[in-house]
A and B are shown apart, each in its own frame.
Chain A
Amino acid sequence: MARKHDDDVIFEARDLKIHAVRDDGSELPIVKGVDFKVRRGEVVALIGESGSGKTTISLSALGYCKPGLKFAGGEARLLGQDLTKMSTEELRPVRGERVAYLAQSAAATFNPSILINEQVTEAPILHGSKTKEEADAKALSLYHALELPNPDTIGQRYPHQVSGGQLQRLMAAMALCGDPDLLVLDEPTTALDVTTQIEVLKAFKEVIKKEGAAAIYVTHDLAVVAQVADHIVVLYNGEIKEAGPVETIINKSEHPYTKRLMGAIKPLPEAGLGEDTEDLGRESPALEVKALDAGYGKGADGKPTTMVLRDVNVAIERGKTVGVIGESGCGKSTLARVFAGLLPPSAGDISLDGDLIAPDLRNRSREELRKVQFVYQMADTALNPRHRIKDILGRPVEFYSGLTGAAKMERVYELLDMVELPKPFAERLPHELSGGQKQRINLARALAANPEVVLCDEVTSALDTIVGANVIELLKSLRRDTGVSFVFISHDLSTVASFADEIVVLYAGRVAEQGPTDKVLSPPYHPYTRLLISSVPEMRTGWLEETIADKATLTGMASGVELTDTGCPFFARCPMAIEGTCDKIEPPRRNDGAKHIIECHREIDELMGGG
């Protein structure tokens, strides 16, 4: 996609320097002299870990610095104008008109109190480049181009009335409505499910091409970059480590840092990737649920008004890991809440070490509570910001083991050692730690109880590739050293595949497929498993085009997860659905032998093909 003949530069950073201003007035360099160019029709990806300065650099294309930062030197030239020297008033006509921004979370970026259409058309109308009618017409054509459902009426809704993936595409419409020359996209698909990500990437790519804009694409996901970018700029600690065309960087990178980034990419799900762990020879599983039903709300008949989980059977063997996957809304977190006793099920049994335990947390003994611990996704919100690490870890140590004083501190140091953090961290406050370090403390807190089962709910989802990969390594070594069992919940199939011994694929609260990792990740597949596997981006160019050309994936992308009362919930998205059967009758549970279960009307033989 080299367009060397078109040498028209849209944006150029020349020795760009940005500093953070500390409270005492001293300055700390964040971006240390960066040079790169974006030409018309070209997508340049800025990649790097958090803290590499990639978002800060991308915002300079709008002449904007986050509060606490300032331009300290160099130039950020958009269409020949140096934005770093312009006042807010001078920048106003440029922003939203020449250059537009797409943020990571559309849900936070749309004003909750204003109709979508007004927000989409606001910039061009304010800047006077379009009349209200022109802007509305442009917005409508974008809604069509972005393949939004009900394009004629979707603008008359409030942001909370549309789904996350739709809002992400609407944000693209908002950015494109003013026909900008440059788009700045900041991790626009990171928070999405793989299936939704494909849909959004496809829409972005087509629209960028059609509108003839240039783009700066900020991400830490190299596989996504391979799909959308023409050029890659690799950043580390505010400096450019390597830059070049996408093919060169992906296939022939020489730089050690780029190699580290690539190394952290989880391999694609393949059969047999689950680690072999020793069987510790216990007769009863550490934690087991049988015939579990659970939901929210309380109806007249004592059953939940919204049923989420139906007939779920999971056994977590000692020292093993059960991975739970599925898109958002499939009931993954609900299952974890049931295990933990936070949500008593409406039917079914929970047993710990072979003994039935109370469904409600409040009726469990301290010993039973100790054995099952929960690790939340957001370490930021799960750690009390005013408590020192020694208190965060010391409290469960004291509560469960009764240790105090020096013995308690000894245990705290031991826990820090287990999560590979040095002793002096005990005196720190959470905000003095990086994201990955916070997640380690979050994990250490669960380990403080000396648990048998640790429930990990999306613990790596908010982390960078490299940091996330390190956390997974840590989990593996903990499993080896302590014999703890893990329930690992994630929407990211490749992470689960690299760590779990057994996988449970949930769809709309039902088990679509369940079994040992290598069985689940090899044929026969449940159609939903196949969709998830084929949606994980591969780190090679052209993958996106191939995938969306595959009709099966396309049907599956069509809509979000809906809970249904009759038949197979996956019916509407299933390329193999049998009309009249799948939508009416609950699918049978087919056992493929060796504990591999698929719930589908299709025969095992029919489910063998490809994937």
Chain B
Amino acid sequence: MTTLILKRLGIGLVTVLAVSLIIFFGTKILPGDAAQIRLGQSATPENVAAFRARLGLDQPYIVQYLVWLKNFMSGDLGASLASDVPITNLIADRYQNTVFVSFATAIIGVPISLALGILAAMYPGTLYDRTLTLVSVSLVAAPEFFTATLLVLLFVFALGVGNAIVVGSTEGKGFFELIAHFALPITTLCFVIASQLIRMSRAAVLNVMSSPYIEMAILKGVPRGRIIFRHALLNAIGPIVNVVALNLAYLVTGVIVVEVYFGYNGLATLIVQGVQTRDYILIQGLGMIFCLTYVILMLIADIAAYASNARLRHPK
């Protein structure tokens, strides 16, 4: 088990390194370099050359890569090409919004979705199960902006609560005030992750429910609730934590549409701005952060799956 976890850590590390290579050299093959972009079209070749030397861009790529990686690991992501502000400062402004929205969505959306999915697996084929399946399939198919629009129509225009966009400052607000502040984006995201979580947790539990040991539990007269929570769920944890981790990673990195729709600044909008302004340094730094988020979440999911498996915890 320990070796397994160490192996898994090693794989995670290799993944991060591989992604760092792709991010670094991927941005290098694009036309123009940082010095040209920073100084603009009108800069003289001498100025560009001097600036390149200052940024270390005259060094061989491999040296640049190693320096960049070393700086990244020590927390120095460099300065934005567009504004000369350190990337870490840019991120600090935005990350609170993203982290809060993701966190709130996770603590509200994940437990509710799992409960709904498991309940559907307890009563397969019933009206409840079929309705839930229909709704969750429709939600998977609907794009985020469509879900968001429906919610705005319902709450803002029909019921007259809240604003169609996120307005005002988050300064000095408490937890529940913040929830209210971001109510619509959080609700939208809950719907987005719910569809996948419901379907996967239902499928994972149903899959276990058809195994002979569940039939045995039925034949021992074990009540349905205990069959689900003691006998089935233990063996369905592996696939479920994986889907949860993937959805959490999505919340940190992939919510650009929701951020733009509701007009608040988060990390996803920031990376799009980076692309628009050809701010390579920003793209590299955020790319690495997103990669780390994925790798760490998947690592936690896999370790949780290992830990839930008796065969791995207690080898022969």
* A, B co-complexed: yes
Q: Which A residues contact B (CB, under 8 angstroms)?
A: 59, 62, 64, 91-97, 100-101, 103, 105, 108-114, 122-123, 126-127, 157-158, 160-161, 174
**Interface stretch (choices B77-85, B128-136, B192-200, B210-218):** B210-218
Contacts of A123 in B (CB 8 A): 220-222
Q: Do residues A108 and B211 form an inter-chain contact, with CB atoms below 8 A?
A: yes
Q: How far is the CB of B149 from chain A (nearest CB, A)?
A: 40
Interface residues of B in 216-257 (CB under 8 A from A): 216-223, 226, 230-231, 234-235
Q: Do residues A62 and B219 form an inter-chain contact, with CB atoms below 8 A?
A: yes
Interface residue? B311 (CB, 8 A) = yes
Question: Chain B residue with minimal CB distance to A115?
Answer: B310
Interface residue? B64 (CB, 8 A) = no
Interface residue? B173 (CB, 8 A) = no
Q: Do residues A96 and B310 form an inter-chain contact, with CB atoms below 8 A?
A: no
Question: Chain A residue with minimal CB distance to B219?
Answer: A101
Question: Chain B residue with minimal CB distance to A111?
Answer: B213
Q: Do residues B220 and A100 form an inter-chain contact, with CB atoms below 8 A?
A: yes
In which size bucket is the chain B interface? 20 to 34
Q: How far is the CB of A380 from chain B (nearest CB, A)?
A: 16
Question: Chain A residue with minimal CB distance to B237?
Answer: A113
Q: How far is the CB of A444 from chain B (nearest CB, A)?
A: 31
Interface residue? B54 (CB, 8 A) = no
B234 touches which of A96, A114, A127, A161 (Cβ 8 Å): A114
Q: Which B residues contact A (CB, under 8 angstroms)?
A: 211-213, 215-223, 226, 230-231, 234-235, 308-311, 314, 316
Q: How far is the CB of B207 from chain A (nearest CB, A)?
A: 14
Question: Chain A residue with minimal CB distance to B310?
Answer: A158
Known: A158-B311, A160-B316. A109 touches B221 (CB 8 A): no
A-B pairs with beta carbons under 8 Å apart, 16 shown:
A64-B218, A92-B221, A94-B221, A96-B221, A96-B222, A100-B220, A103-B212, A108-B213, A109-B212, A111-B234, A112-B235, A112-B310, A114-B310, A123-B221, A126-B226, A174-B220
Contacts of A111 in B (CB 8 A): 213, 217, 231, 234-235
Known: A160-B311, A160-B316. A114 touches B223 (CB 8 A): no
In Å, the complex CA distance between A108 and B219 comes to 14
In Å, the complex CA distance between A154 and B222 comes to 23
Q: How far is the CB of A453 from chain B (nearest CB, A)?
A: 35
In Å, the complex CA distance between A108 and B211 comes to 8
Known: A110-B213, A126-B226, A160-B310. A96 touches B231 (CB 8 A): no
Q: How far is the CB of A400 from chain B (nearest CB, A)?
A: 39
Given A100-B219, A126-B220; 16 other pairs, CB 8 A cutoff: A64-B218, A91-B221, A92-B222, A93-B221, A95-B221, A96-B219, A96-B222, A101-B216, A108-B213, A110-B216, A112-B311, A113-B308, A122-B217, A122-B222, A126-B221, A158-B314
Q: How far is the CB of B219 from chain A (nearest CB, A)?
A: 4
Q: How far is the CB of B309 from chain A (nearest CB, A)?
A: 8
Q: How far is the CB of A176 from chain B (nearest CB, A)?
A: 12
Q: Do residues A105 and B234 form an inter-chain contact, with CB atoms below 8 A?
A: no
Q: How far is the CB of A170 from chain B (nearest CB, A)?
A: 12
Contacts of B222 in A (CB 8 A): 92, 96, 122-123, 126
Known: A94-B221, A160-B310. A103 touches B234 (CB 8 A): no
Q: How far is the CB of B238 from chain A (nearest CB, A)?
A: 11
Q: How far is the CB of A211 from chain B (nearest CB, A)?
A: 17
Contacts of B311 in A (CB 8 A): 112, 158, 160
Known: A108-B212, A108-B213, A160-B310. A95 touches B235 (CB 8 A): no
Contacts of A97 in B (CB 8 A): 221
Question: Chain B residue with minimal CB distance to A64?
Answer: B219
B220 touches which of A96, A157, A160, A161 (Cβ 8 Å): A96
Question: Chain A residue with minimal CB distance to B235?
Answer: A113
Question: Chain B residue with minimal CB distance to A123?
Answer: B220
Closest 4 CB pairs of A and B: A95-B221, A96-B220, A108-B212, A113-B234
Question: Chain B residue with minimal CB distance to A93?
Answer: B221
Q: Do residues B310 and A113 form an inter-chain contact, with CB atoms below 8 A?
A: yes
Q: Do residues A103 and B310 form an inter-chain contact, with CB atoms below 8 A?
A: no
Contacts of B216 in A (CB 8 A): 101, 103, 109-110
Q: How far is the CB of A423 from chain B (nearest CB, A)?
A: 36
Q: Do residues B220 and A122 form an inter-chain contact, with CB atoms below 8 A?
A: yes
Contacts of B230 in A (CB 8 A): 114
Contacts of A126 in B (CB 8 A): 220-223, 226
Contacts of A114 in B (CB 8 A): 230-231, 234, 310
Contacts of B235 in A (CB 8 A): 111-113
Question: Chain A residue with minimal CB distance to B232?
Answer: A111
Question: Chain B residue with minimal CB distance to A94?
Answer: B221
Q: How far is the CB of B215 from chain A (nearest CB, A)?
A: 8
Q: How far is the CB of A17 from chain B (nearest CB, A)?
A: 21
Q: Do residues B314 and A161 form an inter-chain contact, with CB atoms below 8 A?
A: yes
Known: A160-B310, A160-B311, A161-B316. A109 touches B213 (CB 8 A): yes
Contacts of A96 in B (CB 8 A): 219-222
In Å, the complex CA distance between A349 and B212 comes to 44
In Å, the complex CA distance between A113 and B314 comes to 10
In Å, the complex CA distance between A95 and B213 comes to 15
B213, B218, B230, B231: residue with the most chain A Cβ atoms closer than 10 Å: B213
In Å, the complex CA distance between A231 and B101 comes to 70
Question: Chain B residue with minimal CB distance to A99?
Answer: B219
In Å, the complex CA distance between A556 and B51 comes to 85
In Å, the complex CA distance between A114 and B309 comes to 10
Contacts of B212 in A (CB 8 A): 103, 105, 108-109
A91, A109, A126, A160: residue with the most chain B Cβ atoms closer than 10 Å: A109
In Å, the complex CA distance between A158 and B218 comes to 20
In Å, the complex CA distance between A112 and B208 comes to 11
In Å, the complex CA distance between A62 and B219 comes to 7
Known: A103-B212, A109-B212, A161-B314. A95 touches B234 (CB 8 A): no
In Å, the complex CA distance between A98 and B316 comes to 35
In Å, the complex CA distance between A122 and B308 comes to 21
In Å, the complex CA distance between A127 and B211 comes to 23
Q: How far is the CB of B93 from chain A (nearest CB, A)?
A: 46
In Å, the complex CA distance between A126 and B314 comes to 27
In Å, the complex CA distance between A438 and B128 comes to 40
In Å, the complex CA distance between A262 and B147 comes to 69
Question: Chain A residue with minimal CB distance to B314?
Answer: A158
Q: Do residues A92 and B223 form an inter-chain contact, with CB atoms below 8 A?
A: yes
In Å, the complex CA distance between A27 and B164 comes to 57
Q: How far is the CB of A384 from chain B (nearest CB, A)?
A: 22
Known: A103-B212, A113-B235. A95 touches B220 (CB 8 A): yes
In Å, the complex CA distance between A174 and B220 comes to 9
Contacts of A112 in B (CB 8 A): 213, 235, 310-311
Question: Chain A residue with minimal CB distance to B220?
Answer: A96
In Å, the complex CA distance between A92 and B220 comes to 8
In Å, the complex CA distance between A230 and B310 comes to 41
In Å, the complex CA distance between A157 and B211 comes to 21
Question: Chain B residue with minimal CB distance to A96?
Answer: B220
In Å, the complex CA distance between A305 and B64 comes to 45
In Å, the complex CA distance between A605 and B57 comes to 89
Contacts of A92 in B (CB 8 A): 221-223
Q: Do residues A95 and B219 form an inter-chain contact, with CB atoms below 8 A?
A: yes
B213, B216, B219, B309: residue with the most chain A Cβ atoms closer than 10 Å: B219
Contacts of A100 in B (CB 8 A): 219-220
Q: Do residues A127 and B221 form an inter-chain contact, with CB atoms below 8 A?
A: yes
Question: Chain A residue with minimal CB distance to B224?
Answer: A88
Contacts of B211 in A (CB 8 A): 108
In Å, the complex CA distance between A113 and B309 comes to 7
In Å, the complex CA distance between A339 and B65 comes to 52
In Å, the complex CA distance between A471 and B285 comes to 67
In Å, the complex CA distance between A64 and B314 comes to 34
Contacts of B234 in A (CB 8 A): 111, 113-114
In Å, the complex CA distance between A105 and B211 comes to 12
In Å, the complex CA distance between A97 and B221 comes to 8
Contacts of B308 in A (CB 8 A): 113
In Å, the complex CA distance between A164 and B212 comes to 16
In Å, the complex CA distance between A97 and B212 comes to 19
Contacts of A64 in B (CB 8 A): 218-219
In Å, the complex CA distance between A108 and B213 comes to 6
